A and B are shown apart, each in its own frame.
Chain A
Amino acid sequence: MVLFLQQLINGLSVGSIYALIALGYTMVYGIIKLINFAHGEIMMAGAYFAFLIAVSTNLPFVAVMLISMVLAAVLGVVIERVAYKPLRNAPRISLLITAIGMSLFLQNLALVIFRADPKIMPTLIAKHPINIGPIQVGTVTLTTLVLSIIFMVILDVFVKKTKPGKAMRAVSEDKDAALLMGINVDKTISLTFAIGSALGALGGVLYGITYTQVYPTMGILPGLKAFIAAVLGGIGLIPGAVLGGFAVGMVETISKAYLPTQWTDAIVFGILIVVLLIKPTGILGKNEKEKV
């Protein structure tokens, strides 16, 4: 039972990282119907930014985290402007392939700049176990969980209460109608990429700290799993991404604890397939009627 509770907390921590990354996927999909394959690489870039800042300066963890989030947001907006914007009216498949190309490009750029060998992330958070009853929780696990929840709450308030947040919801509901209402669609899309990328970078920083390593291909697997999380919860829906992220993190951690590790990925993909077959719009999604 203690072991199970321990795993549950680890699962929540891993899940919160997935949820942060999944938010970027889901927000971008919600607004321009694009599976942004480059999002995993933005997460990787965020981790590298944090690594570079932490190695070259003595800034505290919070500053390192915020600066890398801002840098990743800029990167996300640049990618959107350069690669995705010219294709806004192109067929969906062209956009998807551009995203795949962008993901490859960023991966190989990191490979050329930083080389393939993993870099060790400096200890940004002092590591010592905290005892809660019989359960031991690491400071990293706890920080990850708390930070993720804080940012999710901020995002929720932003989307629901502020004007740009309302604009985002309007654009994802109906781009043309939003344009007619005087919303600057281009700016709103850029804003969505900025926020999604910043959250993805936060996920990357926390992932890098949790596994103590940063390497060019680190974005692929968490990116894919976060994407599965977004689909599981209902792609395009912000609460769905959070729910899906925690679900995938839980399933992964618990199956890792009780089953041979090499089956973990198969189980995660298995969940994806089952969900898509039973309810393709995800747990929180509504079924859409087909229109001719």
Chain B
Amino acid sequence: MNRKMLKNYIINLIVVALIYAGIKVLISAGVINRYYEGIIIFIMINIILATSLNLATGFLGQLTLGHAGFMAAGAYVSAITAIALKNSGMPNLLILIISLIAAAIVSALVGIAIGIPALRLRGDYLAIITLGFGEMIRVIINNLRGLTGGAQGLTGIPRIATFDNVFWVTALVILVLYRLTHSRQGRAIVSIREDEIAAEAVGVKTTYFKVLGFAIAAGFAGVGGGLYAHYLAFLDPKIFGFMRSVEILVIVVLGGMGSLTGSIFAAIILTILPEALRSFSDYRMLLYSFALVLMMIFRPIGMFGTKEFSWQGIYDRYKMLRDAVKRREKA
């Protein structure tokens, strides 16, 4: 790790800590009430879901329409684990960690099981088959009534996801995804997006990296689902339908496929916007879908394209501008 990168990490760590402290202060001052806190938690869950889908769709280039299925698998595994551990006397945080790890492992395994056959297909066919698998997961959960409560929903999940732990889990997920996408493995993953045949020709094990990327994306979707379950304390298979997958995909597309920071900003906007438009609730989804179509026609690469937002980048741009102004003054 060179000095510039180290500097970047330290700056970002400070920014994250400042955001955390800022929100904490606002919560204790009562500016952020329970309703706003809930929205913030949903923003962070959406960030986890969107950044993980971005790994599969943006970086790996495999369009998937079944992300809600992995989220559902994680949510149910995590909820069932936590219910089993509820009366064991363990502290809440430990229960949360154990159930989230269980969720991540199971979702990643589901991801591998689906990925190995599905990733042989490309483009539209992959989108369709992931759609099919996502719906299958939901139907299976709906029918395992003894374990999941079926269509009546699963109740009695301990409400152990708080602002603090959701915040740090989100930060950790983003860090892992950032490190992954900027590593040797990450470059292999991006090379598959750019040109799969060329990547294979230069010796990238395409199948391995496709399944790896897919499994990691699925695992983190499971974590997002787990947090969702522990915040809402109630699960219903209907939540994880095809529309949920589409919502996550829309966040990724709006932010820019291949930009983690883009997904973060888009998740913030697309979680707040529907809430802010609640008073026009009839027209809310209408505007939302209209904006999506407009976005695709006029700026299909999303807000950020494949670029990442960085403080260093802003500073560099500022310096460039300043130098340009100086040069002009001299001349």
Contact = CB atoms under 8 A, between A and B. Distances in A.
A83 interface: yes
Interface stretch (B70-78, B80-88, B282-290): B282-290
A167 interface: no
A273 B134 CA distance: 11
B286 A108 contact: yes
6 contacts: A90-B300, A100-B292, A101-B296, A104-B288, A108-B286, A112-B283
B286 A112 contact: yes
A98 B296 contact: yes
Contact of A102 (B124, B129, B293): B293
A91 B290 contact: no
B197 to A, nearest CB: 5
Contacts of B127: 35, 96
Contacts of A228: 132
Contacts, number: 112
Interface of A is mostly: helix
A273 B129 contact: yes
Interface of B is mostly: helix
B63 A272 contact: no
Given A104-B288, A262-B142, 6 more contacts: A93-B57, A93-B63, A105-B289, A107-B285, A265-B135, A266-B135
B298 to A, nearest CB: 9
A133 interface: no
A105 B300 contact: no
A105 B286 contact: yes
Contact of B135 (A35, A102, A269): A269
Interface stretch (B104-112, B179-187, B219-227, B246-254): B246-254
B123 interface: yes
Contact of B143 (A227, A266, A270, A290): A266
Interface residues of B, number: 40
Interface string B222-262: 00000000000000000000100010011001000100000
A97 B233 CA distance: 32
B3 to A, nearest CB: 38
B246 A265 contact: no
A98 B254 CA distance: 12
Contacts of B242: 220, 224
A290 B200 CA distance: 14
B300 A94 contact: yes
A195 to B, nearest CB: 21
A62 interface: no
A272 B253 contact: no
